[in-house]
Amino acid sequence: MNGLEINILAFAIPLFTGLIGLEYILSRRMGKDVHQFADSATNVGVGLSERLFDLYTSSLFFYVFTFIYTHFRIFTFEAGFWTFILLFLLTDFVWYWYHRLAHEINLFWGVHVVHHQSEEFNYTVSTRITVFQAIVRGGFWSVLPLAGFPPDMITVLLLVHGAYPFFTHTRLVGKLGWLEYILVTPSHHRVHHASNELYLDKNYGDVLIIWDKLFGTYQEETEEPVYGLTKPLKSYSFLWQHFHFLLEIGQSVRKTSGWWNKVKVVFGPPSAFDPTVRGELEEIFLSRQPEVVVSRRMRFYIIAQLAITSAVLFFLILFDTYWPSSILTGAGAFILLSLINIGAILEKKTWVLYLEYARVSVIILTAYGLTGNQWLLVGLNLASIVFLFLSNFLRKQYVQWVYS
């Protein structure tokens, strides 16, 4: 009898959740306020969305790596200790240039900027990775199979290499003596995430700090960092966080005359970007609400949503080879709507109740797809009619319950 096949990568979710909780507890005991609830909640939400899309795209990346290795590799490296060391050095070198270009080219910054939006610096910030960033990064990783490293080795190395930066996103660890000369430490990475003039565009390394020292982008932490973008985003919207800079690029291209000037907008540096564009787009897409006070009930509700979403994603990944497409689609839609919903609650959007109804509808439709029970559709239609007639009353009750 064959054993149950599971994907052990699912355990990264409870592992990193536990480490985030541990950092929070230690920070309270040390008297350091490094977590702000709304900020941390949206950070985790961004990270969960990336893990969700990774479920659908990871096999595609492996296929691409295998195709490149099979048909286009320049050399052939046999698996072994020294090959692994060489692969690690090349991976870290490629990361440095991917990361540096992600700060120097507008198109790449548009998919990386999400990682820098938080005005705090803690373990939750490390989870702010988007699927768009993963796609761009995958393009850079394609150098590895092209060089001749086996895709299986690359996959293992990228898992290890990708886990290390989690531990550099913290304010609780000071300088680490002689390790500061070799590794990227929390001190180095605090500099990278800071918006201080002294710290801008510094310390791009992932594991080794030597690349920054070689290429002139190293900066020691000498003053207290101020975290976040030079122009803070001031929004918890899941969608706005992901797309605002790409929209800014589009708006700038539209306003710019001459095809060469338009190309420079897309591939030029963020420092040369028109700073008025975001304000124009905020007028169109953002309705400013008064600062929402996070009540105990709202905090509990958002934590519950994150917990349920994390649990659903955990089991999706754990048994990824067993789920039918209806479950993958329905559960994926539920997770995505839930993450958008958290930002909408924090900003007290008027349409948040409709999003809640959409989440319930997805659950019912997914159950119908699995069972074919017509009564589920009948119930959904009846609920839609009731919702239509009582929407104003339900909205008032919802707002009172969540925000009181």
Burial class (CB in 10 A: 0-12, 13-18, 19+), 167: middle
Token duo for residue 34 = 């490094």
Question: 79-138, pLDDT tens digit by residue?
Answer: 899 999 999 999 999 999 999 999 999 999 999 999 999 999 999 999 999 888 888 999
Among 69-78, 134-143, 200-209, 382-391, whose mean pLDDT is lowest? 382-391
Give the Å distances, CA to CA, from 258 to 37, 186, 255. 45, 44, 10
First to last CA, the chain: 55
Q: Confidence class of residue 371 from pLDDT cuts 50, 70 and 90?
A: confident
Question: 349-360, pLDDT tens digit by residue?
Answer: 889 999 999 999
Mean pLDDT of 142-151: 97
Q: Which amino acid is at 53?
A: F
Q: Locate the DSSP E strands across 91-173.
A: none
Buried b / exposed e along 385-399 (16+ C-beta atoms within 10 A): eeeeeeeeeebeeee
The model's pTM: 0.92
Burial class (CB in 10 A: 0-12, 13-18, 19+), 85: exposed
Token duo for residue 332 = 């994926």
CA dihedral 224, 226, 230, 234 (to 10 degrees): -170
DSSP result, 182-246: TB--HHHHHHHHB--GGGTT----SSBSHHHHHHT------S---BS-SS------HHHHHHHHH
